[in-house]
Structure 1
Amino acid sequence: MSIIALIIIGAAAGLIATRLMRIETDLFATIGIGILGALVGGVVLRVLLTITGWMAGFVGAVLGAMVLIWLWKTYGPRR
């Protein structure tokens, strides 16, 4: 997957994940969450990606971003 595609998919996944988890982040944090979520989800759902195509990768990216948001909210800096 090219870097441009990773950024675009990561931005979309981060946007969806932050909205589903009901947190407000700036653009760079949203993209970062999405990209890291795409990496985490991509590793976890690699088999599904092989079987069903790019849609499994997108679902994995959203789920991975949601896991990262949950970890951030649970163990991140307290306000």
Structure 2
Amino acid sequence: MPILILIVIGAAAGFLATRFMRVQTDVPTTIAIGVGGALLGWLILRFLVSITGWVAAFVGAVIGAMALIWLWQKYISK
């Protein structure tokens, strides 16, 4: 991944993660948390896909879709 994309995605992921977990951090810490989480998630998913094939990617997609549905029901459809 290019470093700029990693920082942008990491910043967004860190922002969302700190808000979901209700943690108050400054901007550099939020970006560091997000970049670390993005790297860790990428490595774990890459490892699972190499071991189990595309089943892990499908399971990840289903879990992501379930998370979006939960977020929709919890925050938007009220």
Deviation at 1:45, TM superposition (A): 1.1
Q: 1:30: Cα distance to partner? A: 0.1
Aligned residues: CA RMSD: 2.4
Structure 1 equivalent of residue 22 of structure 2: 22
The sequence identity of aligned pairs, in percent, is: 55
Letter in 2 for 1:45: L
**AA of the residue aligned to 2:18:** T
TM-score by length of 1: 0.59
Aligned: 1:10 with 2:10: yes
Instruction: Report how many residues are paired.
Output: 54
1:35 equivalent in structure 2: 35
Which residues of structure 2 form unaligned runs of 5+?
A: 65-78
Deviating beyond 6 angstroms after TM superposition, the runs of 4 or more aligned structure 1 residues are: none
Segments of 5+ residues of structure 1 without an aligned counterpart are 60-79
Cα distance in 2, alignment partners of residues 13 and 25 from structure 1: 14
Distance 1:14 1:45 in 2: 18
Higher relative CO (Cα under 8 Å, sequence separation at least 6) belongs to 1
